[in-house]
Every structure is written in structure tokens, then in C-alpha cells.
Amino acid sequence: MVAVARCLSQRIRLGTLHVPTTNRTLRTTSSQLRRVASATLPHPFHGVQAFSVSPVPSPAADKPLPQPPSPHQLSLNPGDRGPRVIRPTPPPSPSSRKDRIREARPFSDFLTDTFDRQHDYLRISVTERCNLRCLYCMPEEGVPLSPQRELLTTPEIVLLSSVFVSQGVTKIRLTGGEPTVRRDIVPLMQQIGALRAHGLRELCLTTNGLSLHRKLDAMVEAGLTGVNLSLDTLDQWQYQLMTRRAGFSAVQKTIDRIFELNRVGAGIKFKINCVVMRGVNDREILPFVEMTREKDVEVRFIEYMPFDGNKWSKGKMFSYQEMLDLIRSRYPDLQREAGHKNDTSKTFQVPGFVGKLGFVTSMTHNFCGTCNRLRITSDGNLKVCLFGNAEVSVRDILRKVNGGEPIDEEAFELLRQTAVDSMKRPSSPAHPPPLLAPNSEELLNVIGMAVKRKKEKHAGLGELEHMKNRPMILIDPPATFQRHRSRWHHHIGFVPSSSLVNKVPAPLSGFLVPGSDSISARQQLRLFTSTSRQLRQGGKDNSVKGPKLTHVTSSGAAHMVSISDKTPTKRVATAKCTVYFSDPAVLKLITENQMKKGDVLGVARIAGIMAAKRTPDLIPLCHPIALTHAEVELAPVEANFKDGTNGKNKGGAIEIAATVSCDGKTGVEMEALTAASAAALTVYDMCKAVDKAMVIEGLRVVLKDGGKSGRWEMP
């Protein structure tokens, strides 16, 4: 351990990092460090610059103290609490031009790739958790969480931030998951915000806004300079359908509070990120544009991008050019704005509007040539490209100074004290740099090699959808999610029928159900089969050749048939039905989303997916089964008197197809049938006020695959 401490002292500078203390038990390696803290140590290593990460500058550090807030920094908090002062941590006073020239240095070679791109923007995922369950991102039950020791601790996040800032990073963005669910998010931001005295210019947050309004004031005081809020709809009911949470009002509180703080001088750069998906929320584009008429916000429309699990396809992507054409149809004088060379979005503005519009065109017009971003995942991996699957662990290198154990608050305090003691030696410099960075030399070498391997650009449009990458839910999920990925399936979008490819798009959402080990073998069984028949006549068991009913006992009573001796296989079933309208106006109202009850296709889709989950509650002999996938497609069909329906399609129709799958011992035909019928009944319910002559017909299974009988399709 003496060697460990000596190695540590060679790479750690004296610092004043404040970390909240806890009563947690110190790990074995930390106890060993305590025993060697007073050992004879060599002079600290002079080859690597390190940091002081103190929320409040020390008067002895020759740095100007923050000035009292000016009147424009006064704000009114929600309610009747009265005025309060917002004190964002100010950067140090600008030095003279002569001093700046003397202290100037070239940008770090560690963060410069072989194409001369300088990476001064770092994104850090601080959690894998989220308080929403968006249909296209997370299952209702959540995701498997990784062990806490695999995730970066608060001291580790701050130490990594300090290393990157020492090399020229000027912007740090905290992401997740949802970063505001992290308990110590505000203290963490205070510590990272203190790096503004050492070159950090921007500290930003990407959030869903659900709980931000409760922490926003404290974050501004900690140095928050920018907020990117993820919001895909401005309709509270659509929001609840898409997120499975009734939180739209809370998000609105966050938006209102940001505008309030900016009116009194907080200076928060506010952006709203909207991922546009064809048939899901493309109708929201124009309402978002209208929002910028009087609001100082940049709404950024993002092309739907492929990640593991979201079943991306070109048909689901609403392209940049399509968005632009749609907006110009309403606002023909839309103008392009000049931007910074490293901007990820193309900026536009409608003349006379306060806010702006942005388009993130990763799929159709990549911006790889000016990319300046690096990412650190929540489990401590460095990711040099959003679409790349190459990662390197900086967590493991950082933890070498603590014997491979996570650096918690107590362990960090021992590491800091070791450096403090070494600075008391006579050979120490009179004015040591008040900075801190453990294991910096090795860490920077690994970072530099990863950056140098960064490609000139990511794969093309036709290749990205087939590449392995982290799931969209958290671009920085833990390793546990990767290990469980084979048991999770996630889908959103639609594949229109061949007859409707160039007509009205039929959106298709997916449902994600875990098949985790926590589900017992009994729950995995679906004690249902339709491949045999048993008959009883006259009190006797009359065996007959051919199919038999296995759900009937010898006494004629219904029962469940055990299939425990069957081999689990992948099972898939598709069921279809059709809703015919008597009036063509109904279909037009549906496709234009003008029904008084709301989005008919969207609500029916969700109803079908939910019904598939609840099939065992509706059908007596169906046992619970762990579904791996459920999707419902609703395709509008124009009126046609010559389509073989004997005039039933005189007012148009909605064709419904439900597909359900599982990895189990029995089929999922009943789940598919239940999903299709529930979707059809929902269409009927939402349209009956304008068409009481609707007809629902043709409910049938058209595809069954898996099991002993193999594949079957309706002729």
C-alpha cells in the first residue's frame, strides 16, 4: 500500500475539493490508505496539471471573490416567498491582454483527433434512472439497473471533469437517464461549476423537465448556463400516452420558471428538443414553431436516429427537408441564421418571432466534420462518437489509485489528505498549483488514444440501422443493460402495407415487457393450446382420431393443460380485423386528427397494446406470459366500391394488424386477437358520435409461428 500511496502522490496535486461527508463504512482499501497516509512520500509529480475544485474560491488563492449581485439578479420565486437573490458562480475577472498572451497554450493534443478536430465539449451521463416511461424509450416497469459500484461516484465525475477541463474542455453537459433524479445533482453541479475558474465556460443540463422546477434556482446559483428540455408534444393527453405519466403540468412549470429567471437576468440558454417521428408526432411541428412567436426559446427538431432496440427504419424518419417544407408552407418567409462552426443544428427564424428553430440532421446531413463532442457513460466509458460502438473505460483507470474500488467521499478525503501531507515537505514548491487530478498521466494517454481512433464520419444512412450501439433510452446506460439486452425488445414506428406505402402513414408504437429472471417459471407458462381436442359424450370418454380439445376434462369440465414438458421457442402471432365506415367524412376526420375525442389512431394503438398485456385477465384459461414484443398497426384505407367487400367500404376503413411475440412454451394467438379487437373497439368508441353504422369484421389470426407445429399463415 506504500507503493500505492507513493504512486498516488506522484499524480495528485493539492486541492480543496469539497465533498459532502457521509457515515458510510470506509472500504478496506481506504483503511489501508489511512495507515500509509503518513508514510514518506516523494515530491508530487510535476508533469501533469491538476485542479482545485472548490465551490467557493479561497481568499488565499489570489482569485477575486464573487461580487454582490446586481439588482437585475433579483428574482421572484413561485408562491409568496418574496424576492430572492440568484448568485450564479461568476468566472474570474478577465486578466490583462498581456497576461492572457503569456498564459496562452496550444489546445491539448490528447483531445485533438487525426482530422484536427478539437474536442472542447464533454457530455457526462450522471445516472441511468428516469422518472418517465416513454413508449419509444422505456418499458412501463423500467429497466434492469446495474450495481451501484459499476456507476461513477460523485468524486469520480468531478475528477474526470477536472482532467478534461485541464486539457481545454470549455463546455460540460450533464445527461442521463434523467439527471434531476440524482439525489446529489445540485452539490455535483456546484463542484463542477467551480471549474469555471479554470477554463470551463458553460455548464448545461439535458432533462425531461419533470422535476427541474424544484431545483432550478439552486442550479443557477451553482453555475448552470443552459437547459435542453426534451419534449415531443405540446398536448397534455398525448404527453400522457407517450410517457405513461401525467406530468405535463410539471414540465410546464419548469418552462415557465426558466422564462421567469431569464426575465430577471439568469441568462439560461433554453432549448427544447423534439424528436420527430412520422405518424407519431409530426403533426406537432407547426405548434412548436408557433411557440417561438413570443417565447425566447430555440425549438430543435431532431431526425429520428437508430439505436439498439428502437427498430429504426427510413420510413419512420421525418427528414429535415420534409420538416422545412412543412414549416415553409405555413411560414414562407422562414430565414436561415448564421451559426457557430461546431453547432449541431441548422438555425432558422421566422421574421418577427422572438425564438428560433433548429434542425439536428444527423441522418440526412451529418455534421461530423466539425464534431467537437466526447461522451462519458454512466458506467465510466468514454464514447468518442454517438453512433460508434467503440468504448474505453476511464472509470477503471481512475480507480487504480484506490485499489480498483469506487472512489467514494471517504476514500477521496484520504486521497486528498495524502496529497496535503506531501505538500508540507520542505521540497514542495512555495505556491503549488491548487488543482487536483489523480492518475492523470495514464488517464490522458488512454483518452488521447481513443480520440485519435475517431473516424472522419459515422456510417451512412443505410448502414446505421444495422450497427450495434447502445439503446436510445440512455445513450449512456450501464453494462447491466447490455447484458440483459437479449431479453428485452423495443419497437416504435410502422411498416405500411404495400397498398399504402405512398398514402397515409400508419403509425405503429411498441410495447416493451421484461422477460427477466425474476419472473418465475410458473408465470412463464401459458397453459393454453389449440392443437388438440378432447370430446366426452354420454359420460364416457370417446377418443376420436384427429384433433382433440385439451381444455376439457373427462367429466366435461374446463381446465388448464400443463405444457411444462414443452421446449421454449420464439413464438409470434399476427391477428387482423377491419373497421368499415358508412361516411367518407369520418376517415378524413381521423387522418387529419380532427375528432373531438382526440387522436383516434394513437389511442387505439395504445389500447391494443395494453389489451395484449391484460389477455389473461379477460380470457379465463390464459395464464400470464412474459411478452417480448407487442405492436399494433392501424392503416387508413380510402373508400372503394370495387374492392370485393360488397359495398362495405363505401365510407373507407381502418385496417388493424396486431403482432405479438414471446420466448416461451406456448403461442400468443390470443394476445394478438385481443390486441386487434381492443384497437377496433376503441376506434368504434371514438367515432360513434359521427358514424353509428360502423361495422367491425374479419377478426382472425393470419400468422402463427413457433412451437412444434411450426409456421402457419392464412392462405
410-430 per-position pLDDT tens digit = 888 887 777 677 666 655 555
Check: CB of residue 11 under 8 Å from CB of residue 438.
yes
* pLDDT for the residue 36: 35
- For 335, other C-beta atoms within 10 Å of its C-beta total 10
Binned at pLDDT 50, 70 and 90, residue 538 comes out as: very low
Average pLDDT value for the chain: 74
* pLDDT for the residue 126: 96
User: At residue 546, what is the residue type?
Assistant: G
Say whether 217 is catalytic.
Answer: no
- Cell 480543496 locates to 16
Q: Out of 569-583, 604-618, 640-654, pick the least confident.
A: 640-654
Check: CB of residue 696 under 8 Å from CB of residue 678.
no
Give helix 2-9 / helix 28-36 axis angle, nearest 10°: 80
* pLDDT for the residue 436: 58
Report DSSP state, residue 501. T
Cα 577 to chain center, whole Å? 34
Q: Which of 663, 685, 691, 705 is catalytic?
A: 685
* pLDDT for the residue 226: 97
* pLDDT for the residue 238: 87
Question: How far is the CA of 666 from the CAs of 527, 552, 567, 569, 624, in angstroms?
Answer: 7, 18, 9, 8, 11
pLDDT digits (tens, 9 = 90+) for 280-304: 889 999 999 999 999 999 999 998 7
**Rounded CA gap, 338 and 324, in Å?**
17
* pLDDT for the residue 183: 94
Closest CA to 571 of 512, 627, 513: 627
Closest CA to 117 of 459, 475, 457, 460: 457
| DSSP codes of every residue in 329-345 | HH-TT-EE----TT-SE
Question: How far is the CA of 506 from the CAs of 297, 324, 503, 590, in angstroms?
Answer: 32, 22, 9, 11
CA dihedral of residues 150, 145, 18, 160 (deg, nearest 10): 50
SS (H, E, C) 37-86: CCCCCCCCCCCCCCCCCCCCCCHHHCCCCCCCCCHHHEEECCCCCCEEEC
- For 531, other C-beta atoms within 10 Å of its C-beta total 12
Q: Which residues pair with 347 in a beta bridge?
A: 358
* pLDDT for the residue 458: 52
Could you tell me if residue 447 is left (phi over 0), alpha (psi between -120 and 50 degrees) or otherwise beta?
alpha
Closest CA to 579 of 472, 443, 683, 460: 683
Check: CB of residue 651 under 8 Å from CB of residue 639.
yes
Does the pLDDT at position 498 exceed 50?
A: no
569-580 and 712-713 as β-strands: parallel, antiparallel, unpaired?
unpaired
Q: 15 or 379, which is more confident? A: 379
Does the pLDDT at position 29 exceed 50?
A: no
Q: Out of 157-161, 486-490, 594-598, pick the least confident.
A: 486-490
**Rounded CA gap, 412 and 402, in Å?**
9
Question: How far is the CA of 657 from the CAs of 79, 126, 507, 573, 630, in angstroms?
Answer: 50, 40, 12, 10, 11
For the chain, counts of helices (H) and of strands (E) = 20, 22
pLDDT digits (tens, 9 = 90+) for 235-252: 998 898 888 888 999 999
**3-class state of residue 661 by DSSP:** strand
35 HSE (CA, 13 A, CB side) = 10
* pLDDT for the residue 509: 29
Check: CB of residue 327 under 8 Å from CB of residue 293.
no
pLDDT digits (tens, 9 = 90+) for 93-123: 555 666 665 566 678 899 999 999 999 999 9
* pLDDT for the residue 678: 96
Does the pLDDT at position 569 exceed 90?
A: no
Binned at pLDDT 50, 70 and 90, residue 553 comes out as: low
Does the pLDDT at position 497 exceed 70?
A: no
Q: 60 or 151, which is more confident? A: 151
Does the pLDDT at position 487 exceed 80?
A: no
- For 611, other C-beta atoms within 10 Å of its C-beta total 24
**Average pLDDT value for residue range 40-51:** 35
Burial of residue 694, with CB atoms counted within 10 A of its CB: 0-12 exposed, 13-18 middle, 19 or more buried = buried
Q: Which residues pair with 706 in a beta bridge?
A: none
Check: CB of residue 323 under 8 Å from CB of residue 334.
no
Cα 223 to chain center, whole Å? 24
- For 260, other C-beta atoms within 10 Å of its C-beta total 15
**Average pLDDT value for residue range 1-30:** 40
**Rounded CA gap, 400 and 392, in Å?**
15
**Rounded CA gap, 344 and 368, in Å?**
9
Q: 52 or 615, which is more confident? A: 615
Q: Out of 307-311, 619-623, 660-664, pick the least confident.
A: 307-311
Does the pLDDT at position 408 exceed 80?
A: yes
Does the pLDDT at position 308 exceed 70?
A: no
Helix (H) or strand (E) holding 101: helix 97-103
Check: CB of residue 137 under 8 Å from CB of residue 143.
no
Does the pLDDT at position 710 exceed 90?
A: no
**What percent of the chain has pLDDT above 90?**
42
* pLDDT for the residue 682: 95
**Rounded CA gap, 388 and 351, in Å?**
38
Grid coordinates given for 407: 472512489
Does the pLDDT at position 232 exceed 70?
A: yes
* pLDDT for the residue 80: 42
Closest CA to 152 of 504, 334, 394: 394
Contacts 24+ apart (CB under 8 A), 282-290: 282/318, 282/326, 283/593, 284/232, 284/233, 284/234, 284/235, 284/238, 285/323, 285/326, 285/327, 286/326, 286/327, 286/330, 287/234, 288/234, 289/327, 289/330, 289/331, 289/350, 289/357
Q: 420 or 432, which is more confident? A: 420
**Rounded CA gap, 504 and 638, in Å?**
9
Does the pLDDT at position 9 exceed 70?
A: no
Binned at pLDDT 50, 70 and 90, residue 136 comes out as: low
Grid coordinates given for 558: 374446463
φ, ψ of residue 613 to 5 degrees: the values are: -65, -35
Does the pLDDT at position 593 exceed 80?
A: yes
Does the pLDDT at position 619 exceed 80?
A: yes
Does the pLDDT at position 630 exceed 50?
A: yes
Helix (H) or strand (E) holding 272: strand 269-276
φ, ψ of residue 132 to 5 degrees: the values are: -120, 165
* pLDDT for the residue 618: 87
488 HSE (CA, 13 A, CB side) = 24
Cis, peptide link before residue 651, omega less than 30° from 0: no
* pLDDT for the residue 344: 75
**Average pLDDT value for residue range 558-568:** 71
Check: CB of residue 609 under 8 Å from CB of residue 509.
yes
Q: 387 or 278, which is more confident? A: 278
Does the pLDDT at position 676 exceed 90?
A: yes
* pLDDT for the residue 140: 66
* pLDDT for the residue 118: 93
Contacts of 373 (CB under 8 A, 6+ apart): 119, 121, 122, 123, 344, 386
Binned at pLDDT 50, 70 and 90, residue 190 comes out as: very high
Closest CA to 175 of 229, 213, 217: 229
